[in-house]
Amino acid sequence: MAITSQGLIHLGFIPEVDFSLQDDSDGNGVYIKSWISSDAQPTVSAIEAAAIEWQTAYDAQAYARSRKAEYPEIVDQLDDIYHNGIDAWKATIKVTKDKYPKG
């Protein structure tokens, strides 16, 4: 693992407001180019741990992102309800929910 924006953001810091990162492409990886925040700079291990927490939370929501991409637009869902009723709408939505179940 290494220093990542996601890790720092998960710790509550804002890119270009609290920190800037750089990778010189010299094989040494990403490093904190400048620390702007008035808060203490976190350790690399704290940043790495936060990045792992962020990735775990992100991965746990994969089903939600997949569902969102496949659901009809809200206006189309409302039109479906109006023309076909709630039960037909539920059946349409259930197809996507079944395709991408919660973890």
Pair 17, 46 in one domain? yes
What's the pTM value of the predicted model, to 2 decimals? 0.75
Pair 54, 68 in one domain? no
Pair 12, 50 in one domain? yes
Domains: count for the chain = 2
Instruction: Quote the pLDDT of residue 103.
Output: 75
Q: Exposed, middle or buried: residue 40 (CB in 10 Å: 0-12, 13-18, 19+)?
A: exposed
Q: Is the confidence at residue 56, as pLDDT, over 80?
A: yes
Pair 66, 52 in one domain? no
Pair 28, 16 in one domain? yes
Q: Which structural domain range is residue 78 located in?
A: 62-99
64, 67, 65, 66: which is closest to 94 by C-alpha? 67
pLDDT tens for each residue of 60-79: 999 999 999 999 999 999 99
Q: Exposed, middle or buried: residue 48 (CB in 10 Å: 0-12, 13-18, 19+)?
A: middle
Q: Write the CATH number for 32.
A: 3.30.56.60
- What sign has the CA pseudo-torsion 89, 94, 99, 100? positive
Pair 50, 92 in one domain? no
